[in-house]
Amino acid sequence: MQALMMDRPLLISSLIDFAAKYHSDTEIVSRTVEGPIHRYTWKDAGARSKQVAQALSNKLGVTLGDRIATLAWNGYRHLELYYGVSGMGAILHTINPRLFPEQIVYIAEHAEDKVIFLDLTFVPLLEAVADKLTSVEAFVIMTDEDHMPDTSLPNVLCYETLIGDQSGDYDWPEFDENTASSLCYTSGTTGNPKGALYGHRSTVLHSYCVCTVDGLGLGSHDVVLPVVPMFHANAWGIVYAAAMCGAKMVMPGAAMDGASIYELLDSEKVTLSLGVPTVWLMLLNHLQETGDKLPHMDRTVIGGSAAPRSMIEAFQFNYDVTVVHAWGMTEMSPLGTTGMLRPKHAGLSAEQKVDIQVKQGAAVYNVDMKIVDDDGNAQPHDGVAFGNLLVRGPWIASGYFKGEGGDVLQDGWFPTGDVATMDPDGYMQITDRSKDVIKSGGEWISSIDLENEAVGCPGVAEAAVIGIYHPKWDERPLLVVVRSEGSDVGKDEILAYLEGKIAKWWMPDDVQFVDELPHTATGKLQKVTIREQFKDYVLPTASDAAE
C-alpha cells in the first residue's frame, strides 16, 4: 500500500525560500574582500539568488547540469551563488584556490566549467592560467563596477552589473531531487584530485543532520560563523543548514587570522563557529596575547584533522566554550561523526570528559560505519582493535565524477582511507590514514597518536611521524619536528617527554628537525612529500639490527 503523503522533491531552492519567507529579517554579515562589513537579510539573499539564476539563464545561456565554478572566500555573493546556481539546476563547482595552479587547471578542465565566478583576490591566479581553461566562456568578478580591476582575463564581467538588471521575479524550477547540485574535488595527497558530486536530496538530508541536537545542533537561536571555507566540502554544510533553520550567519571573507576572527566573534555575538585546528590555534594564540574572552560563544566545532587535547582543554577550561569534535570527508558531504557527550558521561570529571572528546565521535543518523582488517573481516568494537573504516549512507559518495578511480565501493561501503578504533558506545577514533600507518613487526603504530603526543612537548610547534624501513621490524617510526620560535628543544628532551605517554615499542627510533613541514591545500600534513624527503634517510637503529 502506498502512503498518502505529498511527493515534494527535496531541492536546495526550498532552503533559501524557507529562510527568505520565515526568517526574512535574520541577518547575514560578511567581511568583504573590498574591506567593509556587509549586512543584509535572508530575504535579501533569497531575492538576489533568484537574480543570479535569472542572469545565468538569460545572459550566459546556462542550463540544467552545466558546471559553474567559484574561486571565492566565505561571503554573501558566494552564498547567492550556492543557491542561484544549484537552485536553477546547474552544478556549483567550488574550486579550492589553495590548490596548485596546475591542479586548478586540471579540475576546471575535468569539470568542463562554463563560467568561473571569482573574488578580486584571485584575479592574478586566474590570469596566469586563463589560456589553458578551454571550456570557460566567461569570468565573473564578484564585485561592483567601482572595484573592477584592470585585467587580462578574457570575457570578463562584473557580478553586480550581471545580476543588477534582473527582476528577481523568478520561480525556481522543479526537477528530480536526485539531480546533481554541486561538485567538490578532494585535495588528494596522491594522484589527481577527484570530484565528489553532491545532489539536492543528499544536501537537504545532510542539512537536517546539521540541525539535529546530536548533529551540530544548529538552530535559529544560533549566530554561526563558518571559518571553514565554502570551497572545502561546502563549509561543512553550514550554508545550507543555516537557511534550513534560519540562523544568523557571519562570514569572515579572506581574513582568518586570530584578531580578525575574534573581532567578528565578539561584535556579532557568535554562538557557534567551525574550523580546522590550525585556525583555532591562531585564535587561541590571539586570546592568550590579548587576554580577551569569548563570552557569547557556546560551542566550537573542530574537524578536518584531529583536535589536539590541549586545544579542547583550552576552549573548555579557559574560555567555557564546549568543543564538538567532528569527523567527515569531502566524499561524505562531509559530516560522519560528532563527539557529543551522553547522559552516562555526566558524572565524569572534566579530564575524563576530554578523554572521550579527543575521539572523533559517534556516528550521526544516516551514517553507518564499520572497521575491517585488510581481508575485510569486521573488527570488534572494543576501543582497541584497529581497522580500515568503511561508511555508507545517503550523503556519502557512490563514486567519483566521470567515473574517476573506477568502482570505489566495497560491497556497497565507501572506504574512507582512515584507520580507526570503535569503542563499545560507538565512539570512533582515527588512528591513521591507511597509507600512513606504521607497520612494525606485524603490529600497527598510529602516526597520528604519536604526532598528537609530540606536539604536547614544550618547544615543539608541529610534528609528523613517518614509517622508515627497518631490517628487523620492517618499519619503525621517525619523528620529524618543527621547533617553536626561539626553542632549541632536542631529541633527548622530546623522547623523555614521550616516555610513559605511549607504549614503549611505539617510541620513535629517531627525531629529525626541519624548518617547516609540507601541507596539502586543505592544511593536512603531506606525508607523501615528507616520505620523499626522507627516502634516503637511514635509522640509527637499522645498523644495530643488522649486526
Give catalytic status of residue 444 as yes or no.
yes
Please identify the residue of the shown chain whose CB is closest to the bound ligand AMP. 330
Q: State in angstroms the smallest separation of the CB of 54 from ligand AMP.
A: 33
Q: State in angstroms the smallest separation of the CB of 38 from ligand AMP.
A: 28
Give catalytic status of residue 248 as yes or no.
no
Q: What is the DSSP string of 203-268?
A: HHHHHHHHTSTTTT---TT-EEEE-S-TTSHHHHTHHHHHHHHT-EEEE-BT--SHHHHHHHHHHT
Nearest to 314 by CA among 286, 334, 345, 344: 286
- Between 459 and 518, name the residue whose CB sits nearer to ligand AMP: 518
Residues 483, 485, 488: CA angle, nearest 5 degrees: 55
- Between 313 and 493, name the residue whose CB sits nearer to ligand AMP: 313
**Between 257 and 296, how does the x/- string for binding to ligand AMP read (CB under 6 A)?**
----------------------------------------
**Between 470 and 509, how does the x/- string for binding to ligand AMP read (CB under 6 A)?**
----------------------------------------
312 SS3 class: helix
Catalytic hit among 439, 472, 505, 532: 439
**Between 225 and 254, how does the x/- string for binding to ligand AMP read (CB under 6 A)?**
--------x---------------------
- Between 207 and 360, name the residue whose CB sits nearer to ligand AMP: 360
Q: Using omega within 30 degrees of 0 as the cis cutoff, is the peptide bond preceding 334 cis?
A: yes
437 SS3 class: coil
- Between 166 and 187, name the residue whose CB sits nearer to ligand AMP: 187
Sheet-wide strand order for 180-185: 156-158, 138-141, 115-118, 67-71, 91-94, 180-185, 195-199
Question: Which residues ranging from 431 to 460 are in contact with ligand AMP (CB under 6 A)?
Answer: 433
Q: What does the alpha-carbon distance between residue 463 and residue 209 come to, in Å, rounded to a whole number?
A: 34
Binding of residue 526 to ligand AMP (CB under 6 A): no
**Between 180 and 219, how does the x/- string for binding to ligand AMP read (CB under 6 A)?**
------xx--------------------------------
Q: What is the DSSP string of 141-187?
A: ESS-GGGPPP---SSEEEHHHHHHT-----PPP---TTSEEEEEE--
- Between 57 and 338, name the residue whose CB sits nearer to ligand AMP: 338
Name the one range near ligand AMP by CB under 6 A: 5-13, 67-75, 216-224, 410-418.
410-418
Q: State in angstroms the smallest separation of the CB of 69 from ligand AMP.
A: 18
- Between 15 and 302, name the residue whose CB sits nearer to ligand AMP: 302
SS (H, E, C) 354-416: HHHHCCCEEECCCCEEEEECCCCCECCCCCCCCEEEEEECCCCCCCCHHHCCCCCCECCEEEE
Binding of residue 418 to ligand AMP (CB under 6 A): yes
Q: State in angstroms the smallest separation of the CB of 524 from ligand AMP.
A: 6
Nearest to 280 by CA among 242, 253, 236, 313: 313
Say what angle helices 258-267 and 277-290 make with each other, to 10 degrees. Answer: 80
Question: Which residues ranging from 95 to 124 are in contact with ligand AMP (CB under 6 A)?
Answer: none
Question: Which residues ranging from 299 to 328 are in contact with ligand AMP (CB under 6 A)?
Answer: 303-306, 325-328
Task: Render the burial of 32-66: b for 16+ CB within 10 Å, e for the rest.
Answer: bbeeeebeebbebbbbbbbbbbbbbbeebebeeeb
Binding of residue 519 to ligand AMP (CB under 6 A): no
Identify the bridge partners of residue 502 per DSSP, sorted by sequence position.
499
Catalytic hit among 26, 70, 179, 186: 186
Q: State in angstroms the smallest separation of the CB of 519 from ligand AMP.
A: 12
Q: What does the alpha-carbon distance between residue 267 and residue 139 come to, in Å, rounded to a whole number?
A: 34
Question: Which residues ranging from 36 to 75 are in contact with ligand AMP (CB under 6 A)?
Answer: none
Q: State in angstroms the smallest separation of the CB of 176 from ligand AMP.
A: 27
User: For ligand AMP, which residue of 69, 430, 438, 480 counts as binding (CB under 6 A)?
Assistant: 430
User: For ligand AMP, which residue of 89, 252, 334, 477 counts as binding (CB under 6 A)?
Assistant: 334
Q: State in angstroms the smallest separation of the CB of 252 from ligand AMP.
A: 19
Give catalytic status of residue 413 as yes or no.
no
Backbone angles phi, psi at 545, to 5 degrees: -70, -35
Name the one range near ligand AMP by CB under 6 A: 10-18, 219-227, 298-306, 461-469.
298-306
Catalytic hit among 444, 493, 524, 541: 444
Say what angle helices 76-87 and 42-60 make with each other, to 10 degrees. Answer: 60
Q: What does the alpha-carbon distance between residue 227 and residue 3 come to, in Å, rounded to a whole number?
A: 42
- Between 222 and 418, name the residue whose CB sits nearer to ligand AMP: 418
Give catalytic status of residue 42 as yes or no.
no
Q: With contacts defined by CB under 6 A, how many residues of the chain interact with ligand AMP?
A: 21
> Position 135: which residue type?
S
Residues carrying an active site annotation: 186, 331, 439, 444
Q: Give the interface with ligand AMP as residue ranges (CB under 6 A).
A: 186-187, 233, 303-306, 325-330, 334, 360, 416-418, 430, 433, 522
